[in-house]
Chain A
Amino acid sequence: MKIIPISALIGLFFTFLYFFVAIFAPWIAPYGMAEIVGDVWEPSSSAYWLGTDSIGRDLLTRMIYGGRTTIFIATAATILSFTTGATLGFLAAVSGGWIDQVLSRFVDLIMAIPSLIFALVVLSVMPVTIPVLILVMGLLDATRVFRLSRAVAVDINVMDYVEAAKLRGEGLRWIIFREILPNALSPLVAEMGLRFIFMVLFVSTLSFLGLGVQPPQADWGGIVKENKEGIVYGISAALAPAFAIATLAISVNLVADWVLNRTTSLKGGRG
């Protein structure tokens, strides 16, 4: 437990790096977010490390601000989806009966519609602001978290210690948060790493389609969209966000794997 495996160290390093850069973007970025500093698609140089984009803004600056937006939206949406999804999932498993039926069938209904289409429909009638984006993504993804946490909690709910808690006269809140949650943490943490990355991809897809983060705000999906024509002329600007998403995905999951290993062996718990 004291020794952090090398893979987790690499994951931790890059995850922290990305979050650090995202949080302190205004101090780190060499230029202003929407500042036009040079020609269109200049190659990388000592002044513009990654070159410039389709209208002459510094690409590194755009990437840093884009990461800030993307990571913030993805983090907020993940937190939202896990709090609502897990709470409702546990509630459904513990209560059973009609509460379980209503919640589960409602979730089935939502899941029957492809989430991208659903999000596009909702976002086309709602004003596309960041809070709305977070809400739509978080709630749509909560259905997946609901399914997982309900399945895990159903197993735990039949354990004798939960029955003992019910016989003791514990309320729903104690049973969900003190008896079930600590024992359901391992699969949820593993899922969280995965879900976070799906959120990054989701918000990038939405921006690429023009219904996510609106210009001049930068985000990774938007940067791909703005620079996609360049690919034809051999300009690699559109690949930078792809590379960022890939490295972030790998490092977050390396961390999630390690947390998962740690929590399963912790105090001889489930697993």
Chain B
Amino acid sequence: MSETLLKVRGLKIGATVFPPGEKPHDITIVHGVSFDLAPGKVLGLIGESGAGKSTIGLAAMGYGRGGVKITGGEVFVNGRDILKGGIKGLRELRGAEVTYVAQSAAAAFNPAKKLMEQVTEAAISHGKFSKSDAEKRAVALFAKLGLPDPENIGERYPHQVSGGQLQRVMTALALCPEPDLVVFDEPTTALDVTTQIDVLAAIKEAIRDTGVAALYITHDLAVVAQVSDHIMVLRGGNTVEYGDTDQIINAPVDDYTRALVTVRSIDHEEKSPSDNPVLQVKNITARYKGTNFDVLSDINVELHAGQTLAVVGESGSGKSTLARVITGLLPPSHGSIEFGGHTLTPDLPNRPMEDLRELQMIYQMADVAMNPRQTVGTIIGRPLELYFGLRGEEKRKRIRELLEEIEMGDGFVDRYPAELSGGQKQRVCIARCLAAKPKLIICDEVTSALDPLVADGILKLLLDLQKIEDVSYLFITHDLATVRAIADSIAVMYQGRVVRYGPKSEVLAPPFDDYTDLLLSSVPEMELGWLEKVISSRKMESAGN
């Protein structure tokens, strides 16, 4: 490294926290991180939530989110210490030398302004280009990023383009003022897996062609392996490992890095279908009130006792709607559901209590699936009261057993959900389901909101519980790695239809139909050069483009 664009030395960042019931106090969230970035290179910052990766990324622009202060260290951009430049120095830096791409493009764009106006704003206000030159540059960037109709797309409003396209427009926005450094903060995390790799490829190409340096922040090691030259693994505000991409992926030194590299390697042997299905979905067609198209059309799947059926598809494929139909929240317009040997009443209010007990559900967002004003004890205890009439000591004993089963001690009984970590919250939700002694649990994206290692723990727990309780899972997910880890049979959904269905070994074996191939090939792998290989061999464009 002859020349250094970004030099960070001993960066310390603090924040003020307001824990419930205590006095506010200061904590340190980044403990002295140092790294260098040469022009045109990409550094991946990776870690779980709370690792400080976004905070470090924003510090490269001299910015701290609400309540966050940079308390020590130095950040040099082009040899200038930006933390000493004052407001004026920062104004010259941001949007001119360093730009930013946010995670949620939909939330980051002003919905009332046309895209072109927003893309060219920084370049014009910093006096880098005239209006017409900036617009020419924007059109060129749109074309480079593979956006359709680059000449006219700038005339649209943010809601008129898809999520994947909007993320590319944001990349164009960041590149428009010809910055030296772009901070990408989880740019593909909110996108569907099939859209993600197109955007990833577009970003990678744009970085290479414009010669800009980048900080690429993500929690997905497989993604960062595709785009970066160096990787820094962070945990709790400390550097765990820092090296070039090849070394981190193929020869990790630290235990934590090794765990990240080998995540989702659960071995699960597929069970063969028995002859007594717990759940049979027969010719289900459904639509939402007031719409005129079917969200689900003619769905037929079966789930056997003690097994797991994974329903896979991207957003909008109808997989969550299927769960709503089975639970009775959305009565189908056609077809029926057999559960435990009898036909379920289509709408929820008329279902007998026994059916409600045997069919439980776990949600994606554990923090909104639990009443924030109830303690863990109340949350788990309620089904015991409601279904089994347990009271007093008997109920407390059962709650303790359940907490034991989900690998949490009975010290948690009086805690509120806000006092639990993401993984613990999801465990409590699982315990709430188990309390009902159900035959079937519908798991709706239960691991999507969790960090990879935490998600792994939840999946292992679910598998263990399946062995003990002989419960069946209907597992809704977009993540094929999860499916490989736990499914016995798989249904692939696309635009409201099941396009492929069968035992795991058959569904995941060639020959594939076009959509399954696209889906399977879109899952990032921990392998250098994977992205180029996939892009060149794809049969089908993803729907999100």
Q: Chain A interface (Cβ within 8 Å of chain B)? A: 1, 159-161, 163-164, 166-170, 178-179, 182-183, 265-270
Contacts and interface: CB of A to CB of B under 8 A. Distances in A.
B371 A182 contact: yes
Interface in B349-391: 351, 353, 356-357, 359-361, 363, 365, 368-374, 382-383, 386
A247 B296 CA distance: 62
A168 B386 contact: yes
Contacts, number: 66
B371 A161 contact: yes
A182 B378 CA distance: 14
A183 B383 CA distance: 20
Contact of B363 (A160, A166, A170, A265): A160
B371 A1 contact: no
B329 interface: yes
B290 interface: no
Consensus secondary structure, chain A interface: helix
A167 B356 contact: yes
B372 A160 contact: no
A183 B386 contact: no
B416 interface: yes
5 contacts: A163-B329, A167-B328, A167-B360, A169-B357, A169-B386
Interface centre among B328, B351, B353, B368 (most CB of A within 10 A): B368
Nearest to B444: A160
Nearest to A3: B23
Closest 9 pairs (CB-CB, A-B): A268-B418, A182-B373, A169-B356, A160-B369, A267-B416, A161-B371, A160-B363, A160-B368, A268-B20
A105 B163 CA distance: 39
Contacts of B373: 182-183, 267, 269
B329 A160 contact: no
A164 B348 contact: no
Contacts of A266: 20-21
Interface string B91-116: 00000000000000000000000000
A36 B417 CA distance: 63
A166 B371 CA distance: 13
Interface in B446-505: none
Contact of B369 (A164, A178, A267, A270): A164
A237 to B, nearest CB: 49
Contact of B21 (A1, A159, A160, A270): A1
Interface of B: 18, 20-21, 327-329, 348, 351, 353, 356-357, 359-361, 363, 365, 368-374, 382-383, 386, 416-419, 432, 436
A183 B20 contact: no
A268 B416 contact: yes
A265 B17 CA distance: 12
B329 A179 contact: no
A179 B365 CA distance: 17
B434 to A, nearest CB: 13
A269 B416 CA distance: 9
A245 to B, nearest CB: 35
A268 B419 contact: yes
A159 B368 CA distance: 6
Nearest to A164: B369
Given A160-B365, A163-B329, A169-B353, A270 B386 contact: no
Contacts of A163: 329
A161 B418 contact: no
A15 B363 CA distance: 45
Nearest to A270: B372
Contacts of A159: 368
A161 B368 contact: yes
Nearest to A179: B371
A235 to B, nearest CB: 52
Given A160-B365, A160-B368, A161-B371, A168 B418 contact: no
Given A161-B368, A267-B372, 11 more contacts: A164-B363, A167-B328, A167-B329, A168-B356, A178-B374, A183-B371, A183-B372, A265-B18, A266-B21, A268-B419, A269-B372
Nearest to B386: A168
Nearest to A267: B416
Contacts of B383: 168
Contacts of B417: 268
A268 B418 CA distance: 6
Nearest to A180: B371
Given A267-B20, A269-B418, A161 B370 contact: yes
Contacts of A167: 327-329, 348, 356, 359-361
Contacts of A182: 371, 373-374
Contacts of A179: 371
B412 to A, nearest CB: 14
Contacts of B416: 267-268
Contacts of B369: 160-161, 164
B340 to A, nearest CB: 16
Contacts of B359: 167
Nearest to B351: A169
Nearest to B436: A168
B462 to A, nearest CB: 18
Contacts of B374: 178, 182
A268 B367 CA distance: 11
A166 B324 CA distance: 12
Contacts of B370: 161
Contacts of B432: 164
A164 B363 CA distance: 9
A170 B18 contact: no
A124 to B, nearest CB: 45
Nearest to A166: B348
Contacts of B368: 159-161
A159 B351 CA distance: 22
